[in-house]
A and B are shown apart, each in its own frame.
Chain A
Amino acid sequence: MKKKILAMLITAVMAVSLAACGGGEGSGTESDSFIYGMAGEITDFDPFSSGGTANSRYITFNIFEGLVKVSTDGTVKPAVAQNVDVNEDATVYTFTLRDGVKFHNGSEVTMDDVLYSVQKAVDAGLAGYNEIASFEAADEKTLVVTLNKTDAGFLDYFTQAVIPADSDDNGEMLLAPIGTGPYMFGEYEVAQQVTLKKFDEYWGEGGSIDEIVVKFLSDQNAQLTSFQSGAIDGFGGYGEMGEQINEENATITQTLSNMSQVLALNNAVEPFDDVRVRQAVALAVDSHDVLDTINYGIGQVVGSPVPPALTKYYMPELEDQYAKDNDAALELLKDAGYPDGFSFTVRVPSNYPVHVHCAEKIVSQLAEVGIDMKIEQVDWGTWLEKVYKGRDYEATLISVDGATISPTAFLARYVSDSKSNFMNFKSDVYDEAYAEALSATDEASQVEAFKAVQQILADECPGVFIEDIGSLTVYTKQFEGYNSYPLTAMDFTAVHKAE
C-alpha cells in the first residue's frame, strides 16, 4: 500500500513535468527573424516627444528618418533630403528633397509632408526649433529654413522625423508610427514586445533580416537568463554584465554608452556649496578603480559631461585632473573647515544596478578621507520627481544622456538659470563662456570656445565626472554586425546572419 501511493505520486509528478517540457525545443530562432531583448519597455513611438526616452529611440531610430540622419562617425548625412546648402554665416539652410522616398504606407514623400513635420516639431517645442525664424517651400522640391541667428551646428536638429501630412493630428503616431526608415512598424504588444518588418521600398540600402522582434525584459538579469536559454538572439547591456557571458557562444561588441556617469553634488546645500569640498570629493573618488572593479575595465574614464564620442570637443586632458589623491583631498577638507570629514546621503535610482554598484564602491573610497556616504535607493519615479525636478537631495549618481550630438546637449544644463540644472551649479564665468561659445561663427572657434567651457566646468567641479560606462552588444553566434553611434540608437540594418 505504502509503495503504491508513493509510486503513484512519483509517476504523477513525472508525467506532469514531462508533458511540460515536451515543447522546449523548436521555438528558438527562426531563420528570418532576430529577437532583441531590451531591459525596460517603451510605451509609445511618438517622434515629437522631446526625442523620447533612450529606450524608445532604440526602436524609432529604425522607423523614422529626418531630412538628414546621424551617421556612425557622429556627422549627419542626407536622408529624406538629398542635398543641403548652408549659406556663409550659417543662417539659411536650403534642403533639396530626394526623389522617390516612400512612406511605409506606400505614398511618396512630398513637400506638404515635410512642411507638416517641421511645423509639428516647432509646435512641440523641440530643442533647436525655437531658433527658426521661418521655413517655406521655394518649389516642390526645395525647402528654405531661415534662422534667427548664426548656428553652425543646426543641421543636427534636422534628424527629426518626417511623417505623412495630417497623419498625427490626433496623436496617431503614438501607437501606429509611419516613417520612411528601413524598418516599418509591425505589431505592438503592450509591455511585451514590438515587431518591426523590413521595408522593401526603402530608398537606401536596408536591412537584411526580414523581421525584428524587440522583447521588453524586466532587468539585466532577465536579459542574461533569456540570452543563455536561447529565448533571445541578442541584447544590449552594461560593461558589468560582461563577466557573466560565456564568450564561446556569443559575439560581444564593446562600445561606450555616450554619456558621462556623474556623482552629482547639490551645489546649493552644505557642504557642497564650497568648491573646495566638491574638489576634495573628486580627489577622493578613484574613477579608474570604479571602472576596473565594477565594469571590468569596459568603458572610459572622463572628466567632463561631454562624452569621448564627440571627438572634436572631447578633452582627454580632463580625465585625470582629479586623479585619486587622498592627501590633497584631506588638505582641501581642512581648508574648508571639515578636518574630520562629514557625512551625506547619495540618492541612487534603484532601476539602474550599475549606478547602485558604483555607489557601493565609492562609499569605501570616500571613507579613506573620513567622508561618510550613505546610500539611499529610490525608484525611478521618485528620482525624477524628488532629485531631478525637485532638487531635493545631497548627492546622486546618474548618467545623463544628450538628446542630440551637439555639445550644447551636454553642457547647457550647467548654465545658472537652466531649468535642467539639477545640480544647482552657479558660475558667472561659466555662463559668460557658454554664451560666447554659442555665438561663435566658424567651427574652429566654436570648438575652442566649447573646450574653454569644459575647462571652467572641470575647475568649478559641480560634481565628479567618473566614466563613460561601457556598453555591450551581445549576439548569439548566428548573428553579427553592429553599428555604433554617438547617441543612443540600435541600427537593425547592420544585423545580419553570420557566415
Chain B
Amino acid sequence: MKYFLRKTLILVLTVFLISVFTFIAFHIIPGDPAGLILGTNATEEQLEALREQLGTNRPLSEQYSSWISGFVKGDFGSSIRYRMPVSALLKGRLPVTLALGLISLAIILLLGIPLGILAARMRGTWVEKVIHFLTILGISVPNFFLCILLMWIFGMVLHFFTPGEYISYTKNLPGFFRSLFWPAISIAIPQTAILTKYIRTAMLEELGEDYVRTARGKGAGETWILYLHVLKNAIVAVVPLIGMIVASVLSGSIIIEQVYGIPGMGKLLIGAVTSRDFPLTQTLVIYITVLIVITNFLVDIAIQLIDPRIRLSGKS
C-alpha cells in the first residue's frame, strides 16, 4: 500500500515538473500563435483582436496557471491552432498512437526474444554472426532513414503497401491495422535489435553460472536447462529494459507518424509545437509522460511476479 502511495506521488510530481519544463521551453522559443494563424498579410489590429479572442495576449504565466487549474479539474482547455477543445482532438488520436505502440511492442517482443535465444544457442556459428550483423545494423540506422528505405522497397518497388495512405479505424478496422503495420515495423526494428542483443548477452551470462553446471551435472537436458532455468533468469535481467523500450517506441512514433502521415498524438504534437499551441502541447506532453511512468510502474510489478525474491518497497 505504502508502495502505491509513493509511486502515485512520484507520478504526480513527475507530471508537474514536466509541465513546468514545457512552460519554460515555451517562454524561451519565439513565436506568436496569432501571427502564425493570420500570416504575413495581417494588420496589427487583426492580430490584436485574434490574440484577445484566443487569450494569448495574457502573460504566459497566467496562461499556464489557467491551464493547470483547468487540468486538475479534467478540463484540458482549447487548442489555439485548431480552435476546438483539446479533449476533442485527443479523442480520435489516442487510440491511433496506442495501437501503433502496441503493434510495435508486439513485434519487438515476438522477434527480439526468439532471435536473442537463437543467437545464444547458436553461439560461434554463422547464425549468430548473421544475427549479430543485423542487430548492429538495426541499432545504427536512424529511424527516419529506415522509414524511407522501407517505403521505397516495400511500398514503391514491391507494392506491399501504399505509402501515404492511412485508413481510419472508424471506417475499416482491418484496413486500419494494415496501414499501421509498416510504420510499426519502422519503430520496432531498432528496438528489436537492442532487445536481441540484451537477451543474447543475458543468456550467455546465465549459461556460465554455477547452477547451470549443477543442472548439467544432474543430467538435465540442454533444452530443459535453457528454457526452464536460463531463460527465466535472463528475462528478469531484461524486463527493466521494456520500460525504456516503451519510452523509445512513443518517442519514435512522433517521427514515424509524421513521415507516414498517421494522425496520432505524435503528429499532433509536432503541429502543436510549430504553431506555438500552448494548451495542446502541454496536454500531449502530459499524456506521454503519464503513459511512460505507468509503464515503468507495470514493469516493476512484472519483475516481482517473475522473481518473487524482489520485493516491492518504496526504496530504490
> Which residues of chain A have a CB within 8 Å of any CB of chain B?
1-2, 5-6, 9, 12-13, 16-17, 19-24, 27-28, 37, 41, 43-44, 49-54, 124-125, 127, 171, 174-175, 189-192, 215, 217-218, 222, 225-226, 228-232, 351, 379-382, 384-386, 388-390, 400-401, 403, 419-420
Contacts and interface: CB of A to CB of B under 8 A. Distances in A.
Contacts of B175: 23, 27
Contact of A21 (B32, B118, B121, B161): B161
Interface string B28-68: 01111001111111111110001000000000000000000
A400 B40 contact: yes
B228 to A, nearest CB: 16
Contacts of A403: 41
Given A21-B161, A43-B81, A50-B43, A385 B258 contact: no
A262 B169 CA distance: 45
A2 B165 CA distance: 39
B152 to A, nearest CB: 9
Nearest to B151: A225
Nearest to A230: B162
B203 to A, nearest CB: 14
B263 interface: yes
A362 B107 CA distance: 47
Nearest to A13: B111
Contacts of A174: 83
A189 B115 CA distance: 41
Interface stretch (B15-23, B266-274, B298-306): B266-274
Tell me whether chain B's interface is mostly helix, strand or loop, or mixed.
Answer: helix
B164 A384 contact: no
A5 B118 contact: yes
Contacts of A127: 41
A229 B167 CA distance: 15
A225 B164 CA distance: 7
Given A12-B110, A382-B29, A420 B163 contact: no
A191 B268 contact: yes
B147 to A, nearest CB: 10
Contacts of A22: 178
Nearest to A123: B49
Contact of A24 (B41, B46, B160): B160
B158 to A, nearest CB: 8
Interface of B: 29-32, 35-46, 50, 81-84, 89, 107, 110-111, 114-115, 118, 121-122, 127, 151, 154-156, 159-167, 174-175, 178, 181-182, 223, 258-259, 261, 263, 267-268, 271, 274-276
B261 A23 contact: no
Contacts of B259: 218, 222
Most buried by A among B31, B45, B151: B31
Contact of A381 (B30, B44, B110): B30
B156 A381 contact: no
Given A23-B178, A43-B83, A50 B156 contact: no
Given A125-B45, A385-B31, A6 B127 contact: yes
A217 B261 contact: yes
Contacts of B181: 16-17, 19-20
A228 B30 CA distance: 37
B37 A228 contact: no
Given A50-B39, A384-B40, A17 B160 contact: yes
Contact of A228 (B114, B121, B156, B263): B156
Contacts of B38: 49-50, 53
B292 to A, nearest CB: 23
Contacts of A43: 37, 81-83, 275
A229 B164 contact: yes
